[in-house]
Amino acid sequence: MTLQVFWFLLVAVLFIGYFALEGFDYGVGMLMPIIGRKSEVKRRVVLNTIGPVWDGNEVWLLTAGGAMFAAFPEWYASLFSGFYLALLLILVGLITRACAIEWRSKINDDRWRRWCDIGIGLGSWIPALAWGLAFANIVRGVRLNEKRQIEGTLFDLLNPYALLGGLTTLLLFLLHGAVFLSLKTANEVRDDAQRIVRALFVPTAAVVAVFGIWTQLSYGKGWTWIPLLLAVVGLVVAGFAATRGRDGWAFTGTAVTVVSATALLFGVLFPNVLPSTIDAAYSLTVDGRDGTVSASSTHYTLTVMSWVAVIMVPFVLLYQGWTYWVFRQRLTMEQIPDPIGLLMEKARD
């Protein structure tokens, strides 16, 4: 295995981790106004399920972007210039959501909280859709010319395959978030989450199956049937477990589906990192094979980066795993303190 292939796999693993973890954050954010539409206490329970982990989950994206920039600068430059508006929408959504989550509890005012809830919702719906659009277009290929610049506009990215990809990530993250809520909450909130899981399962399974088969038949290789089948098995397990109240197994099933679907996209993409629909010779690949353009950094750069990754990544994984272990208990409405009572207590102090 060359260092270029190693770093392609590492970038894939980082995005897999990001979608598996941040995917349920998006789902929770999208479901928050639905489950808690008539109850502030319910909304706070929903938000508190991701409170200790959402910012740590975003680190996977920062690391994936940094790894892409350092290991494959040509990929990073062409992708971020050609997908500028789409990625800007994602960035604005993430910033809006982060500010809304952090500031929501700073002012005890219903109007203030409603605006923050809108920010959390938009910051979840937009990236959940846009990530699918972006990755579907990467797999499909773009109009990449000999100068490694992407021709076209944002509307060129709104093709049928990419739109189906966006709908796939949107529904899959919604289902993943609903299953996560049923795992992390109890009583009324859990009951609401389980009803949403039952309502979402069939349409999500249908869309994921259609997109996966389209991807495999159009761009896949022989071995990429494996992640596609694993994604289907994960959904079947999730649906079967959810109907029997086995929340842990249901969450494992949706997580396997997210991981396998992302692995499918990277699997059908390799050895390309950005295919060109103008001329295959203009495509960016991991190592410049078959007369294509190499997107990678120098051997020395990849070597130094590899040592840093081998040393630091295990510590990051251990810390994040410890965080999830500490905050593993279910949340209930009875555990949510009265904000008015807290303000009066602070005033007395």
For the chain, give me the number of helices (H) and strands (E)? Answer: 12, 3
* 295, 72 contact by CB (below 8 A): yes
Residue 164, token pair as written in the block: 């189906």
Question: CB under 8 Å to 143, separation ≥6 — which residues?
Answer: 150, 151, 152, 156, 276, 277, 278
pLDDT above 70 coverage of the chain, percent? 96
Which carries the bigger pLDDT value, residue 94 or residue 349?
94
* 131, 19 contact by CB (below 8 A): yes
Inform me whether the pLDDT recorded for 346 exceeds 60: no
How far apart, in whole angstroms, are the C-alpha atoms of residue 295 and residue 287? 7
Q: Please, which residues bridge with residue 144 across strands?
A: 150
User: Rounded mean pLDDT of 193-204?
Assistant: 94
For the chain, give every domain's residue range.
3-210+269-344
Inform me whether the pLDDT recorded for 263 exceeds 70: yes
How far apart, in whole angstroms, are the C-alpha atoms of residue 303 and residue 273? 20
Question: CB under 8 Å to 112, separation ≥6 — which residues?
Answer: 104
How far apart, in whole angstroms, are the C-alpha atoms of residue 122 and residue 26? 10
Per-residue confidence (pLDDT) for residue 229, from 0 to 100: 96
Per-residue confidence (pLDDT) for residue 338, from 0 to 100: 63
- Give the N- to C-terminal CA distance of the chain in Å, as an integer: 63
User: Rounded mean pLDDT of 110-119?
Assistant: 91
* 182, 193 contact by CB (below 8 A): yes
How far apart, in whole angstroms, are the C-alpha atoms of residue 338 and residue 115? 20
DSSP state, residue 276: B
| One-letter amino acid of 191 | D
How far apart, in whole angstroms, are the C-alpha atoms of residue 98 and residue 229? 35
Query: DSSP 3-state assignment of 202?
Result: helix
User: Rounded mean pLDDT of 84-104?
Assistant: 91
pLDDT class for 205, splitting at 50, 70, 90?
A: very high
Per-residue confidence (pLDDT) for residue 328, from 0 to 100: 85
User: Rounded mean pLDDT of 131-143?
Assistant: 93
Put simply, whether the predicted model's pTM sits higher than 0.85 gets the answer yes
Which carries the bigger pLDDT value, residue 345 or residue 206?
206
- Cβ neighbourhood burial of 193 (10 Å; 0-12, 13-18, 19+): buried
Kindly state the greatest CA–CA separation across the chain: 74
Query: Is the Cα torsion angle 116, 35, 22, 136 positive or negative in sign?
Result: negative
pLDDT in tens, 33-88: 888 787 888 899 999 999 889 988 998 998 999 999 999 999 999 988 888 888 88
* 232, 212 contact by CB (below 8 A): yes
Inform me whether the pLDDT recorded for 342 exceeds 60: no
How far apart, in whole angstroms, are the C-alpha atoms of residue 129 and residue 115? 21
Which carries the bigger pLDDT value, residue 183 or residue 341?
183
Pick the most confident of 27-41, 82-96, 228-242, 308-322. Answer: 228-242
Per-residue confidence (pLDDT) for residue 349, from 0 to 100: 52
Averaged pLDDT score across all residues of the chain: 90
The H-or-E segment that residue 80 falls in is: helix 73-82
Nearest Cα to Cα of residue 267 among 81, 87, 138: 138
How far apart, in whole angstroms, are the C-alpha atoms of residue 63 and residue 7? 12
User: Rounded mean pLDDT of 163-184?
Assistant: 96
Asked if the peptide bond before residue 52 counts as cis, ω within 30 degrees of 0, the response is no
Per-residue confidence (pLDDT) for residue 165, from 0 to 100: 96
Which carries the bigger pLDDT value, residue 252 or residue 281?
252
* 227, 263 contact by CB (below 8 A): yes
User: Rounded mean pLDDT of 207-234?
Assistant: 95
Q: What order do you get walking across the sheet with 293-294 strand by strand?
A: 272-274, 284-285, 293-294
Inform me whether the pLDDT recorded for 344 exceeds 50: no
